[in-house]
Chains A and B, each alone.
Chain A
């Protein structure tokens, strides 16, 4: 293990800026977030970046590391360092705020646009709904529910880069969990939302989202489920 790592960090505001090089001591079990924190605490107090939980729960620490989107708090330097170098940049496909902080507002707005929220029926249920954990619908929900909203998949998706309207993998993955949620009052509304322009039919199903998701979710598969459901609804004249 080398003593130091050469770290190039994007510094600047609103998309303008340049990479600045820092030498950071290499340590055992060091994460990329540890590296960024070392720079901010010891080398450049002005460095802007974002994190909270440090244990892979909050989804706030995602950055581009050597060209790929990653959750930095759970990415070990040893797994990503190339020739003793790290290149760290703000998340792709999002407006830039400053240094390593990207603006997540479009990401969360699109989550809403795709109907990515639970809407209960008007009437208060008299009884708790009994949901069979083995039912195919619940199994589909389980497969997609652990999303931490880190936007790694959104940064990995080329269609997001090419089609500004495209809502992206995380929003559609969330919508798929709701389409399969038996407590949801109006499943048809969810299908309508994901069938709007920029919805599920824009996806190319090549799975960059699924390859990069740090929670090992498979948004690409969820989107395939949505495409089938939307096509069936279209044939029935419901969309």
Chain B
């Protein structure tokens, strides 16, 4: 691919823009919900069985995993001179791992 760098670059920027409302809502809800103290049971009571929260955090996890993996890819390729197939395989593993642990966490609270 002649401009894979550009596609990754744009994917990283667009995923960042995509995550902005998620981050704001995530932080906003934390601050709002915990203003009078909140217990784990109360949180789980709200999130368990909620399709809305599942979708919200599911998409958030996927976007963050893609965004983060592209950053890790740059670091690994610049610092350790990994390129070509070795780099791509490693990065597929990283993104799969991030999505898997992220979705597992989402599954645990929703």
Contacts and interface: CB of A to CB of B under 8 A. Distances in A.
Given A201-B9, A231-B10, A234-B10, A239 B77 contact: no
A216 interface: no
Interface string A146-171: 00000000000001001100000000
B6 A230 contact: yes
Interface in B9-67: 9-10, 13
A239 B6 contact: yes
A231 B13 contact: yes
A159 B3 contact: no
User: Which label, helix, strand, loop or mixed, suits the secondary structure of the B interface?
Assistant: helix
A202 interface: yes
Interface stretch (A19-27, A84-92, A192-200): A192-200
Nearest to A235: B10
Contacts of A163: 77-78
Given A159-B78, A162-B78, A163-B78, A199 B13 contact: no
User: Which label, helix, strand, loop or mixed, suits the secondary structure of the A interface?
Assistant: helix
Contacts of B88: none
A231 B17 CA distance: 14
Interface string A178-196: 0000000000000000011
A198 B5 contact: yes
Contacts, number: 37
Interface residues on B, range: 10 to 19
A201, A230, A231, A234 interface centre (most CB from chain B within 10 Å)? A201
B2 interface: yes
Nearest to A159: B78
A199 B9 CA distance: 11
A111 B48 CA distance: 58
Contacts of A162: 77-79, 81
Interface in A196-232: 196-199, 201-202, 227, 230-231
B79 A201 contact: no
Contacts of A159: 78
B86 interface: no
A197 B79 CA distance: 18
Nearest to B78: A162
24 contacts: A159-B78, A162-B77, A162-B78, A162-B79, A163-B78, A196-B2, A196-B5, A197-B1, A197-B2, A197-B3, A197-B4, A197-B5, A198-B5, A199-B3, A201-B5, A201-B6, A201-B8, A201-B9, A202-B5, A231-B10, A234-B6, A234-B10, A239-B3, A239-B6
